[in-house]
């Protein structure tokens, strides 16, 4: 689960960056349809933060 939390953190942060910068508008499956990219960036950033928190819980639980 720790690994999964870490992977999700990286993935969501990357999504947030790509959504914020608008460099991934050609991937509509991820919601990057060229509009509302700031809202998507916020969503992915929030998910990234939650994943970091989850990772921290997992790390402390196994310590």
Partner 1 sequence: MTFVQAIVLAVLQGISELFPVSSLGHTILIPALLGWHNIDRADPSFLAFVVVLHLGTAIALIVFYRDDWVKLGRALVGSIARGKLSDDVDERVAWLLVVGTVPVGILGLLFKEKVSVLFGAVAPAAIFLMINGLVMFAGDWLRRRQHAATGAAYKPIERLSYPQSVAVGFGQALALLPGISRSGASMVVGLLCGLDMASAARYSFLLATPVIFAAAALEIPELWAPGAHVVAVQAIVGAVLAGIFAYLSVAFLTKYFKNHDLRPFGWYCLLFGALCLILAKIGAIS
The reply on whether position 20 binds partner 1 by CB under 8 A is no
Q: Least distance to partner 1 from the beta carbon of 32, Å? A: 10
- Which parts of 1-63 fold into alpha helices (H)? 2-21, 37-62
d(CA 37, CA 54): 25
Contact residue for partner 1 among 43, 45, 48, 62 (CB under 8 A): 43
Q: How many CA atoms lie within 13 A of 60 on its CB side?
A: 6
CA 2 to chain CA centroid, Å, is: 16
- 27 contributes a contact to partner 1 by CB under 8 A: no
Is residue 61 near partner 1 by the rule CB under 8 A? Answer: yes
- Out of 42, 45, 48, 62, the only residue in the binding site for partner 1 (CB under 8 A) is 42
């Amino acid at each position: 689960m720790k690994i999964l939390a870490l992977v999700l953190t990286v993935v969501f942060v990357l999504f947030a960056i790509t959504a914020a910068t608008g460099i991934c508008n050609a991937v509509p499956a991820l919601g990057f349809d060229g509009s509302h990219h700031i809202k998507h960036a916020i969503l992915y950033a929030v998910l990234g933060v939650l994943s970091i928190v989850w990772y921290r819980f997992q790390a402390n639980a196994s310590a």
